[in-house]
Amino acid sequence: MGTIRLKNIKIYAFHGCLIEEGQIGSDYLVNLSVKADLQNASETDELADTVDYVMLQKIVREEMAMRAKLLEHVAKRIIDSILLKIEMVDEVKVTVAKRNPPIGGDVAEVSVTLQQKR
Protein backbone atom coordinates (compact mmCIF):
# COMPACT_ATOMS: atom_id res chain seq x y z
CA MET A 1 0.00 0.00 0.00
CA GLY A 2 1.21 3.49 -0.82
CA THR A 3 0.00 7.07 -0.53
CA ILE A 4 -0.21 9.80 -3.16
CA ARG A 5 -0.72 13.35 -1.89
CA LEU A 6 -1.67 16.60 -3.58
CA LYS A 7 -0.87 19.54 -1.31
CA ASN A 8 -2.46 23.00 -1.36
CA ILE A 9 -4.41 22.89 -4.61
CA LYS A 10 -5.38 26.57 -4.96
CA ILE A 11 -8.88 27.19 -6.30
CA TYR A 12 -11.20 30.18 -6.49
CA ALA A 13 -14.77 29.02 -5.93
CA PHE A 14 -18.22 30.16 -4.81
CA HIS A 15 -19.20 28.01 -1.81
CA GLY A 16 -21.03 29.21 1.27
CA CYS A 17 -24.40 29.78 2.89
CA LEU A 18 -24.40 33.53 2.29
CA ILE A 19 -25.75 34.91 -1.00
CA GLU A 20 -22.68 37.14 -1.25
CA GLU A 21 -20.37 34.11 -1.15
CA GLY A 22 -22.07 32.76 -4.26
CA GLN A 23 -21.60 36.07 -6.05
CA ILE A 24 -18.15 37.18 -4.90
CA GLY A 25 -16.40 33.86 -4.33
CA SER A 26 -13.39 33.08 -2.20
CA ASP A 27 -9.97 31.44 -2.19
CA TYR A 28 -9.79 27.77 -1.22
CA LEU A 29 -7.04 25.27 -0.57
CA VAL A 30 -7.63 21.55 -1.05
CA ASN A 31 -5.33 18.87 0.33
CA LEU A 32 -5.86 15.34 -0.84
CA SER A 33 -4.32 11.95 -0.16
CA VAL A 34 -5.25 8.59 -1.62
CA LYS A 35 -4.08 5.12 -0.66
CA ALA A 36 -3.63 2.40 -3.25
CA ASP A 37 -1.48 -0.61 -4.03
CA LEU A 38 1.49 1.00 -5.77
CA GLN A 39 3.74 -2.07 -5.79
CA ASN A 40 3.21 -2.85 -9.48
CA ALA A 41 3.86 0.76 -10.51
CA SER A 42 7.07 0.80 -8.50
CA GLU A 43 8.30 -2.11 -10.58
CA THR A 44 6.92 -1.33 -14.06
CA ASP A 45 7.47 2.45 -14.14
CA GLU A 46 4.21 2.74 -16.11
CA LEU A 47 1.54 5.42 -15.56
CA ALA A 48 -1.19 2.87 -16.25
CA ASP A 49 -0.15 0.99 -13.09
CA THR A 50 -0.61 3.89 -10.67
CA VAL A 51 -3.08 6.57 -9.64
CA ASP A 52 -2.67 9.48 -12.04
CA TYR A 53 -2.41 12.63 -9.94
CA VAL A 54 -3.41 14.73 -12.95
CA MET A 55 -6.77 12.93 -12.83
CA LEU A 56 -7.02 13.54 -9.08
CA GLN A 57 -6.47 17.26 -9.57
CA LYS A 58 -9.02 17.33 -12.39
CA ILE A 59 -11.65 15.71 -10.15
CA VAL A 60 -10.97 18.24 -7.39
CA ARG A 61 -11.33 21.16 -9.83
CA GLU A 62 -14.57 19.76 -11.30
CA GLU A 63 -16.19 19.25 -7.90
CA MET A 64 -15.00 22.61 -6.55
CA ALA A 65 -16.54 24.32 -9.61
CA MET A 66 -20.05 23.22 -8.55
CA ARG A 67 -21.44 25.55 -5.90
CA ALA A 68 -22.35 24.14 -2.48
CA LYS A 69 -23.40 25.71 0.80
CA LEU A 70 -21.20 23.49 2.97
CA LEU A 71 -17.55 22.47 2.73
CA GLU A 72 -18.61 19.05 4.02
CA HIS A 73 -20.73 18.56 0.91
CA VAL A 74 -17.90 19.52 -1.45
CA ALA A 75 -15.44 17.23 0.35
CA LYS A 76 -17.88 14.30 0.14
CA ARG A 77 -18.43 14.89 -3.59
CA ILE A 78 -14.66 14.85 -4.16
CA ILE A 79 -14.33 11.55 -2.28
CA ASP A 80 -17.29 9.95 -4.07
CA SER A 81 -16.01 11.00 -7.48
CA ILE A 82 -12.50 9.65 -6.85
CA LEU A 83 -13.81 6.30 -5.61
CA LEU A 84 -16.15 6.07 -8.60
CA LYS A 85 -13.62 7.02 -11.29
CA ILE A 86 -10.39 5.47 -10.00
CA GLU A 87 -10.89 1.82 -9.08
CA MET A 88 -7.45 1.20 -7.63
CA VAL A 89 -7.92 3.82 -4.88
CA ASP A 90 -8.73 2.13 -1.56
CA GLU A 91 -8.96 5.19 0.67
CA VAL A 92 -9.37 8.95 0.24
CA LYS A 93 -8.74 11.77 2.68
CA VAL A 94 -9.59 15.34 1.66
CA THR A 95 -9.41 18.68 3.42
CA VAL A 96 -11.22 21.68 1.94
CA ALA A 97 -10.21 25.02 3.46
CA LYS A 98 -11.82 28.42 2.90
CA ARG A 99 -9.28 31.21 3.31
CA ASN A 100 -10.33 34.41 5.09
CA PRO A 101 -13.90 33.26 5.81
CA PRO A 102 -16.58 35.92 6.36
CA ILE A 103 -17.24 35.08 10.01
CA GLY A 104 -16.72 38.46 11.67
CA GLY A 105 -13.23 37.88 12.99
CA ASP A 106 -9.59 37.58 12.03
CA VAL A 107 -9.50 33.90 11.04
CA ALA A 108 -6.96 32.69 8.47
CA GLU A 109 -9.10 29.77 7.32
CA VAL A 110 -11.78 27.28 8.20
CA SER A 111 -11.52 23.71 6.98
CA VAL A 112 -13.32 20.40 6.86
CA THR A 113 -11.57 17.03 6.59
CA LEU A 114 -13.36 13.86 5.53
CA GLN A 115 -11.93 10.39 5.00
CA GLN A 116 -13.46 7.27 3.50
CA LYS A 117 -12.34 3.75 2.69
CA ARG A 118 -13.71 1.72 -0.17
Tens of pLDDT, residue by residue over 3-15, are 999 999 999 999 9
- Look up the domain containing 50 and give its range: 2-117
Domain of 32, CATH number, reads 3.30.1130.10
Q: How many residues are given for the chain?
A: 118
The model's pTM:
0.94
Is residue 117 among the annotated active site residues? no
Please give the tally of structural domains in the chain.
1
Using one digit for the tens of pLDDT, what is the confidence trace for 58-117? Answer: 999 999 999 999 999 999 999 999 999 999 999 999 999 999 887 878 889 999 999 999
Sequence-separated contacts (24+) of 61-64 with Cβ below 8 Å: 61/9, 61/11, 64/11, 64/13, 64/15, 64/28, 64/30, 64/96
Active site residue: 69, 76, 98, 117, which one?
98
